[in-house]
């Protein structure tokens, strides 16, 4: 299926590992000119090496997107280089495993700055560039935790719930500019963080037991949904938060159909 993405220009934040990396590569394989940013210069370099090996059009910069002047310069530079900006995938984020009553103000502010404020600021910076060429698509990474939080990740859940509300409001604000705004809401994905947990703990069945599909997701499976949402095939979809969770928390006994398999 032709997604109509050839020649478009996309920015992916948190684009050097996990979902961001998979999405950047998937965009480029569809003929999109991709610019990624992430904090780790080492991870950016690794992505760019792999992209060169495939002959893909990806550039990248080590960048903390909570540094608004630098983030503004990055987005502006990409738009100037290519003469347009069509897609913003606001994927960068971070967890915090501290109980809210044990957090200090600095830790609280840091998570909100990256997970929520930077999503808003990225849209504010990107939208004027999208307007110049007749529209675009913004997708943010939310989380199933926005609706069903984990006790020790309260601040993470709060920021992702904010992303969900922001998605709806931006979609309503920007519809007249032909800019669609959506979010993906992953369940548990085989990220570097999850892999580290699997190395430390042998019993991680609780991560999959509550999902109908009884497995973890792969970053590429989230990337496929992001590409669809940014494509012309999703022209009537805006203001939506799409679960990509393998059916996590959908029924009380998701393991039943697997018994005896």
The residues carrying an active-site annotation are 156
Distance CA 150, CA 253 (A): 19
Which helix (H) or strand (E) element contains residue 139? Answer: strand 136-141
Which pairs count as long-range contacts for 249-255, CB under 8 Å and 24+ apart, including other chains?
249/144, 249/148, 249/210, 249/211, 250/212, 251/212, 254/209, 254/210, 254/211, 254/212, 254/214, 255/209, 255/214
Nearest Cα neighbor of 56 from 28, 24, 23 is: 28
10 pairs with which residues across the strands? 34, 87
Torsion of CA 149, 155, 159, 160, to 10 degrees: -20
The two three-digit tokens of residue 95, written as one number: 């967890």
> How many CA atoms, within 13 angstroms, populate the side-chain half-sphere of residue 148?
11
Distance CA 89, CA 231 (A): 13
Q: Is 71 left (phi over 0), alpha (psi -120 to 50) or beta?
A: alpha
Please report the DSSP string for 176-199 in residue order: GGTEEEEEEEE-SB--HHHHHHHH
């Amino acid at each position: 299926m032709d997604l109509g993405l050839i020649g478009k220009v996309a920015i992916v934040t948190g684009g050097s590992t996990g979902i961001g990396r998979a999405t950047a590569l998937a965009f480029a394989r569809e003929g999109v000119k991709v610019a990624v940013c992430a904090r780790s210069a080492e991870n950016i370099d690794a992505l760019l090496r792999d992209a060169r090996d495939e002959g893909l059009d990806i550039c990248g910069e080590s960048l903390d997107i909570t540094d608004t002047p630098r983030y503004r310069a990055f987005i502006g530079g990409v738009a100037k280089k290519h003469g347009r900006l069509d897609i913003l995938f606001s994927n960068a984020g971070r967890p915090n495993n501290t109980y809210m009553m044990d957090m200090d103000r600095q830790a609280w502010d840091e998570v909100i700055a990256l997970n929520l404020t930077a999503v808003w600021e990225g849209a504010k910076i990107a939208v004027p560039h999208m307007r110049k060429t007749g529209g675009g698509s913004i997708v943010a990474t939310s989380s199933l935790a926005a609706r069903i939080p984990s006790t020790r990740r309260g601040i993470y859940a709060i920021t992702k719930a904010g992303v969900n509300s922001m998605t709806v409001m931006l979609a309503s604000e920007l519809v007249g500019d032909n800019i669609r705004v959506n979010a993906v809401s992953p369940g548990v994905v085989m990220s570097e963080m999850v892999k580290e947990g699997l190395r430390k703990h042998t019993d991680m069945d609780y991560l999959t037991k509550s999902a109908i599909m009884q497995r973890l997701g792969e970053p590429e499976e989230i990337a496929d949904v992001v590409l669809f949402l940014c494509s012309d095939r999703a022209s009537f979809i805006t203001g939506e938060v799409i679960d990509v969770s393998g059916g996590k928390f959908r029924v009380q006994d998701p393991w039943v159909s697997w018994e005896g398999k």
